[in-house]
Amino acid sequence: MVGGRSIVLAYVLWFFLGNFGVHKFYLAQPFQGIFYLVLSAIGWLTVGILIGWFFLGLLWLLMLIDLFVIPLRVGTLNARLARRVGGY
């Protein structure tokens, strides 16, 4: 589909840049992307005093959930685009 989202690209972004929420921005979820970015920043900045592991653990749990949700999100975005382009 021209202009649609790619599952492969979403997974590549998730794998390499997931800690920064880049895949969330790609999947049109900017607030979640910012949340991932904040969790990552707080986590890595406070890992030395051990509280950072809580934030990183939460981030990694959310990323694990994303592993299964990405295809659904891409399908939803592509269906929305198809409806918009198709005029129905």
Closest CA to 59 of 87, 33, 40: 40
Strands (E), 1-88: none
Over residues 8-23, the mean pLDDT reads: 98
pLDDT digits (tens, 9 = 90+) for 63-79: 999 999 999 999 999 99
pTM: 0.91
* 51 phi and psi angles, rounded to 5 deg: -65, -25
- What is the rounded CA–CA span in Å between residue 2 and residue 76? 15
